[in-house]
Structure 1
Amino acid sequence: MNKIPRRIITGIQNGKSTIIEDQQVENAVEHLKGLIISDIWNTQQMPASLDWEQRIPNTGFPQTPKNGTYFRYVSIPPDKDLGVEFKAGEPHPMMHQTPTLDYIIILSGELYLIMEEGETLLKPGDIVIQRGTNHVWSNRSDEPCIQLAVLIDAAEAENSKIETLKD
């Protein structure tokens, strides 16, 4: 399995800032062939507590705590390696929705973000603000795509149409 970056956690000891943990992430899981996910950190409340960490199970689809957050590392293999077939004009079998506000950063590789209407190619450095809508990731390249995602528990939109705030 691919190695993912180190997890470094800071804290306070004897009244001074210090590094509490510095090691390889231990909970990387291969949910489907080549789909590697590691749930790095979570918070269980807002405002977030700086005092403790509650280890969370590593799941294919995130289970963001109510009033909490989820920070995950995802390596998405090429579609052809996943064995998922997508036929034009039909819903993608991996289409999903989470009740969260997600901040996603593409670190390496490329990936298509597919919506119910439309899609866009994402490349390293691109940032996605995913606002609780149906979506799927499609890697049509020959290399894995690595993304970091922070998911924040969110209230449902008041209307069925999510709009952009305008000045």
Structure 2
Amino acid sequence: AFCFSVERGFATLCLVPVREIGPRQLNLARVIALHCSPDVSNPHPRVPLSSTSSFPISFLRGLVLLCFSLEPRSLFSIAKRNRILTAEEFWYIYTTDFSCIAAMSTPEPLPNPQRVITDTDPETGISHFNTTLDESLAVKQDLGGSLFRLGYITDKTPNTLDGTDLTNYIEYLETASVPPVTLPDGRGMMWYIDTPPGKGSPAHRTVSFDVVIQVAGEIEVTLESGEKRIQKPGDMLIQRATTHTWRNLSKDKWARMVGVMYSSNPVVLKNGTVLGPSGL
């Protein structure tokens, strides 16, 4: 819970964990605590009070409003001297202006997806799960704030399932260089792409045929013509080597796309112009 104690003209913000508050709320508390103090190393920031020795009520309002907007059933309260300010008070019911406080919250990225790989015993023919890799799929690239996870690659078409494909995939995961978004010769790559709130990509084109499925949040896709589409969970986008941007319009939620991308021949215009990769 949050509480303020007053001492010698200062208010001290204390963070008191209680059973009802989860990690997200405690992280939010730390963000607010650091925001209140010029000394980020101080775990209990001391904030100067006004000349009347009362903490600015606008800040208290915003703090309580923010807490209740995230988790209505959690027990958040603020102590100002001997008085407890809670959501039942008159000012809370009729106050909605807390955008300046809400802007301090930082939404947590989506968790790592589970990557499960199957295999066949070469002697018995019995199917089983391959445990060579950790099933938690970690981030491979950070492109402008968007997080890319390499789900898998194919080594050729048709794919060889004698272990060569898995070996090649592991090499791409462990390489020090950043792997390309697509591979040549018709090979495929499967990417998880997580985009933070309010962020997106620059205008870009890859020489590839992509099947992109929205699995969390919503993404706005914009083409050079100015046309736009909103992709919602379950929606599919067939991206055919076109210049485009994507953007997460949400203010507080991450969005996740899963794209299976195969290299393709470039688009050639009637005048002979070849449209190669651009923007990334």
2:249 pairs with 1:140? yes
2:211 to 99, 103, 109: 103
Measured in 2, the distance between the counterparts of 1:64 and 1:77 equals: 26
Distance 1:95 1:61, change over 3 A: farther
Contact 1:43 1:65 in 2 (8 A): no
Q: Which residue of 2 is the match for residue 163 of structure 1? A: none
Distance 1:48 1:127, change over 3 A: same
CA drift at 1:49: 1.6
1:35 to 136, 146, 149: 146
Measured in 1, the distance between the counterparts of 2:139 and 2:229 equals: 28
Bigger share in helix: 2
Distance 1:94 1:147, change over 3 A: same
CA drift at 1:119: 1.1
Contact 1:44 1:65 in 2 (8 A): no
Measured in 1, the distance between the counterparts of 2:126 and 2:244 equals: 44
CA drift at 1:65: 3.5
Bigger share in strand: 1
Aligned AA (1:140): L
CA drift at 1:63: 3.4
Structure 1, gaps ≥5 residues long: 85-92, 161-167
- Number of residue pairs the alignment of both structures matches: 149
2:183 pairs with 1:70? no
Query: TM-score normalised to the size of structure 2?
Result: 0.48
Measured in 1, the distance between the counterparts of 2:246 and 2:179 equals: 13
CA drift at 1:28: 1.0
Query: TM-score normalised to the size of structure 1?
Result: 0.78
% identical aligned pairs: 25
2:159 pairs with 1:48? yes
Q: Which residue of 2 is the match for residue 12 of structure 1? A: 120
Measured in 2, the distance between the counterparts of 1:61 and 1:141 equals: 28
Larger Rg computed on CA atoms: 2
Q: Which residue of 1 is the match for residue 233 of structure 2? A: 124
CA RMSD across the alignment: 2.5
Query: 4+ runs of 1 displaced by more than 3 Å?
Result: 57-61, 157-160
Structure 2, gaps ≥5 residues long: 1-108, 271-280
Q: Which residue of 2 is the match for residue 88 of structure 1? A: none
CA drift at 1:32: 4.5
- Of the two structures, which has the highest relative contact order with CA contacts closer than 8 Å and spacing of 6 or more? 1
User: C-alpha offsets along residues 53-75 of structure 1, whole Å, 9 cap, x if unaligned?
Assistant: 21325848613242200001111
Aligned AA (1:94): P
